[in-house]
């Protein structure tokens, strides 16, 4: 297992992290997985043995059960790992049981601490921006949590580049702790964050934590132009994140070619592509079975060649758009002359 710095924190996290959306299940979350404590403990132990030290969850996954199961599964290993959880989503029927108000954040961090069975959270992330709460209130509440010792670092998730930059400016202006990382969707089938958000993260020396690197299972190898998967597959039940089918089938064609050449799997090659992207800190994988997790973990050993990367880049690249297209040819010319 390789380890990368989480932004400028000095903290090293495994390049593959274990996501726990498959833990707990329930009516709303069962589509992602319904692992009980025993089943989840097997996956957590397997991840730890492979060198994984980054575990991601949320206060809303399975109505909080995901946090409970993760905390119990880690047990005495808690001190050896980085736990990341989130706040913002709806946790009850009340009008204030959602959002990034000071009221909701303080309530929820206490609940998460209880469920995880710990007295501190390593990385506390906002799950999404909140259009109703002033950023200053949110950032001051998060800063108070860091200063109290209940949270070590704060991070964001699902935010645009300009929103990320805005929050950092507010934090600096007020002398508050800043977001150290951003958790975002990124895959061969979804490269939109390369336009604006990744440049911001690189410029600000922030960590990039990737969720759904297999596009909700669409790049797992179960799907192709001739295969549509089974009725029990996650992507069949819930097609999220959305993908451009025509373009994605072309991506899968190339993935299958490279997988055959390497005697590997489509999922491993798709994950290896994400791992090969220089801005990426950690890729969060989810699994329902040990064999799935083992296949995902094996992607850490794959170093794609320049030719393989070029083939995957060509079939998955974003179309040029303003403000980039007027200058792309000029920039590429300079790079060719001065590599």
CB neighbour class for 304 (10 Å; exposed up to 12, middle 13-18, buried from 19): middle
Category of 101 on φ-ψ map: left (φ > 0), alpha (ψ -120 to 50) or beta: beta
**Cβ neighbours of residue 121 closer than 8 Å, sequence gap 6 or more:** 83, 84, 85, 109, 112, 113, 150, 151, 152
Whether 153 is catalytic: no
Residue 182's beta-bridge partner residues?
156, 208
Q: Which of 61, 124, 153, 186 is catalytic?
A: 61
Output Rg (C-alpha) for the chain, integer angstroms. 20
Q: Could you write out the DSSP letters of every residue in 72-112?
A: HHHGGGGGGSEEEEEE-S--SSSTTSSSS-HHHHHHHHHHH
Which residues are tagged catalytic? 61
């Amino acid at each position: 297992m390789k380890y990368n710095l989480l932004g400028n924190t000095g903290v090293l996290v495994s390049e593959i992290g274990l996501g726990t959306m498959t833990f707990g299940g329930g009516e709303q979350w069962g589509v992602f997985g319904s692992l009980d404590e025993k089943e989840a403990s097997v996956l957590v132990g397997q991840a730890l043995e492979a060198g994984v030290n980054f575990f991601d969850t949320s206060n809303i996954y399975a109505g909080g059960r995901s946090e409970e199961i993760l905390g119990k599964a880690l047990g005495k290993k808690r001190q050896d790992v980085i736990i990341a959880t989130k706040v913002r989503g709806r946790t009850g029927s009340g009008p204030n049981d959602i959002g990034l108000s000071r009221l909701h954040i303080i309530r929820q961090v206490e609940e998460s601490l209880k469920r995880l069975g710990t007295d501190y959270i390593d990385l506390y992330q906002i799950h999404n921006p909140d259009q109703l709460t002033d950023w200053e209130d949110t950032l001051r509440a998060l800063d108070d949590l860091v200063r109290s010792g209940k949270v070590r670092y704060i991070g964001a998730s699902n935010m645009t580049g300009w929103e990320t930059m805005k929050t950092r400016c507010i934090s600096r202006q007020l002398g508050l702790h800043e977001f150290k990382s951003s958790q975002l969707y990124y895959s061969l089938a979804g490269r939109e964050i390369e336009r604006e958000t990744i440049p911001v993260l690189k410029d600000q020396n922030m960590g990039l934590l990737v969720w759904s690197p297999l596009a909700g299972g669409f790049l797992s190898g179960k799907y192709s132009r001739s295969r549509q998967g089974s009725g029990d597959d996650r992507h069949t039940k819930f097609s999220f994140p959305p993908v451009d089918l025509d373009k994605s089938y072309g991506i899968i064609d190339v993935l299958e070619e490279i997988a055959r050449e390497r005697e590997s799997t489509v999922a491993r090659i798709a994950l290896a592509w994400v791992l090969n992207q220089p801005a990426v800190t950690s890729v969060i994988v989810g699994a329902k079975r040990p064999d799935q997790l083992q296949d995902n973990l094996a992607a850490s050993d794959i170093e794609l060649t320049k030719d393989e990367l070029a083939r995957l880049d060509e079939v998955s690249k974003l179309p040029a758009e303003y403000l980039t297209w007027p200058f792309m040819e000029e920039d590429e010319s300079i790079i060719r002359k001065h590599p």
